[in-house]
Amino acid sequence: MKKSEKMKTKIETPKAPAAIGPYSQGTAGNNLVFVSGQLPIDPMTGSMPEGIERQTEQSLKNLKNVLESAGSALDNVYKTTVFLSDMNNFAAMNAVYEAFFKGSIFPARSAVEVSRLPKDALVEIEAIAWSK
């Protein structure tokens, strides 16, 4: 492959929920990892926990697992986007989010309220990260 050619790799792990549509859990190329929005679904049980704190924790665990399967980590995240079904949940989500990224430079982030998320989740989180 010529140096100017780009290669896109599909990222897939059983440690995060399978894609529920025509998309990948993540893709990687040119030392970047793009993680699709992670819903708070436990990949072992297929269930979603109750409450914004537990849902945020599960979404971030899923995000972490997709990153690790791509050879990356939370410390390598450049940017996240957090989708909330209710902006009144921002402070509670933020407290859990902060704990996951503690000790690293916090990634750039957008947080937006949306009218509805798949499976009526309270939160969904996507990321862009660096990888070797």
**Domain spans of the chain, in order of start:** 9-130
The domain defined by 9-130 folds into 60s Ribosomal Protein L30; Chain: A; (3.30.1330)
| 101 contacts 107 by C-beta, under 8 angstroms | yes
Tell me the per-residue pLDDT of 83-109, one tens digit each, with 9 for 90 and over. Answer: 999 999 999 999 999 999 988 799 999
**Rg of the Cα atoms in the chain:** 15
Tell me the per-residue pLDDT of 8-39, one tens digit each, with 9 for 90 and over. Answer: 999 999 999 999 899 999 999 999 999 999 99
Q: How far is CA 90 from CA 12, 19, 48, 63, 112, in A?
A: 29, 26, 19, 19, 9
